[in-house]
Structure 1
Amino acid sequence: MAILDRQGRLFGKLSILDIGAIATILIVLIGLLLVPGNSGNSIAQMLSAENKTVQVDMNVRGLSATDPRNLIKVGDKVNIIIRNQPRGEVTIKKVDISTPKVVAAKADGTAVFFDDPRAVSTSQSDLALTLEATARVTNDGVVFGNEKVKVGTSIDIEGSKYLIRGSAMAVRY
């Protein structure tokens, strides 16, 4: 018995065209499941991701607001915006507000820190916020609404009276 017969069948059973079609379908399925797409995650990574409670520490430098203590409050639910796209809602868990400091040297060489008079006169504050939400955790990091959040990622939060831009200092889950 020949490997190929006159009708193009292997061993008289399978057509070469059928084998080519099956191979094409398998290659497409492997590509869909294993190769990352535009989001950087493959379907297999998305399916293996778990939803967990995630905390993101956000740093805001030089916020110009006359009364930031009454503006941003613990427990507020705010929208998180990453790369100019809304990515869901987060809860503010912790707010630390401080005035920017200036360092001066004393005569004995020790350093003294005091409030920056320019920041005080222009109502500028530095903030450290802790945001909490449920997000997908993959082996490549934390994903809020199809956008990865890592240390250094630029984050905006939008409340009813403010829109504040900062960056991620830490991501915990």
Structure 2
Amino acid sequence: MAADLNKRRWSWSLIDFGALAAVLLAVGGVIWSPKLSGAVAQATGAMQPVLVTVDVRGVPVADPAGLIESARAEGKVNIVIRNQPHGTVKLKQISSLQRRLVAVQPDGSVVTAVDPNQAMVGSLDARFLLEGQGRKTGGGVVFGNQNLKIGAPVELEGAQFRVGGTVSGLRLEDS
């Protein structure tokens, strides 16, 4: 009887293959995890400061100046890129943008003036300058595990607001 047990060889069953596949998928998920790749990039020095300029235009707000001041007081905003939360980034600067009216005169000249309705209507036109960590790739700047380019829509969220804007500038700073 003992001789029969020694002669039996272990063979692979369908359950063994399934368990092996699950282990390999788990290991692959850990290796290619965006958070892990970001941590590896930061550890190797591939991450560097990125300045992102976001323009927000025409958002109806009862008190635009108050919203700008509350954002300045917070000093940070949450950023959402392509419906994927990135996290909190530092708000370096926020400035109000003036809308301008353009009129062509009968003689062909162009005249511009500040829009007088902007103060009465109560809409937010502002430029947010954000600072975060990113890395340069062949396809642009990777910011928050998302490839970010000028013209990309983003959402900015503070304690009292959530506004949609467009990336109007990207600059990698040398560290």
Normalising by the smaller structure, the TM-score range is 0.5 to 0.7
Displacement after TM superposition at 1:81 (Å): 0.4
Q: Distance in 2 between matches of 1:148 and 1:95?
A: 23
Code of the aligned partner of 1:55:
L
Deviation at 1:125, TM superposition (A): 3.4
Where do 4+ consecutive residues of structure 1 move more than 6 Å? none
Counterpart residue number, 2:47: 51
Q: Does structure 2 conserve the Cα–Cα contact (< 8 Å) formed by 1:101 and 1:116?
A: yes
Match for 1:63 among 59, 64, 86? 59
* C-alpha distance in 1 between matches for 2:62 and 2:75: 19
Alignment partner, residue 141 of structure 1: 140
Structure-2 separation of matches of 1:81 and 1:49: 25
1:76 aligns with 2:75: yes
Hey, what's the Cα distance between the residues in 2 that align with 1:93 and 1:87? Answer: 17
Answer with 103-112 or 139-148: which moved more. Answer: 103-112
Q: Secondary structure at the match of 1:70?
A: helix
Query: Deviations along 1:81-112, whole A, 9 cap, x unmatched?
Result: 01112112111112221232211234554322
Q: Deviations over 1:25-54 (max 9, x none)?
A: xxxxxxx9xxxx9x8xxx7xx757711110
SS of the equivalent of 2:150 reads coil
What is the root-mean-square deviation in Å for CA atoms of aligned residues? 2.9
* 8 Å Cα contact 2:64/2:123 also seen in 1: no
Q: Distance in 1 between matches of 2:82 and 2:51?
A: 19
**Residues in 2 aligned to 1:115 and 1:123: alpha-carbon distance in whole angstroms:** 15
Residues 141 and 148 in structure 1, CA contact (< 8 A), matched pair in contact too: yes
Matches within 5 A, 1:1-173: 50-72=46-68, 73-74=71-72, 76-106=75-105, 108-173=107-172
SS in 2 for 1:50: coil
Distance 1:114 1:124 in 2: 18
Question: Does the CA contact (< 8 Å) of 1:49 and 1:138 recur in 2?
Answer: no
Identity value in percent: 34
Distance 1:89 1:78, change over 3 A: same
- Give the helix-richer structure, 1 or 2: 2
Q: CA deviation at 1:66?
A: 2.6
Contact 1:60 1:128 in 2 (8 A): yes
- TM-score (normalizing by structure 1): 0.64
In structure 2, runs of 5+ residues without a counterpart are: 1-27
Q: Which has the higher contact order (CA 8 A, sep 6+)?
A: 2
SS in 2 for 1:71: helix
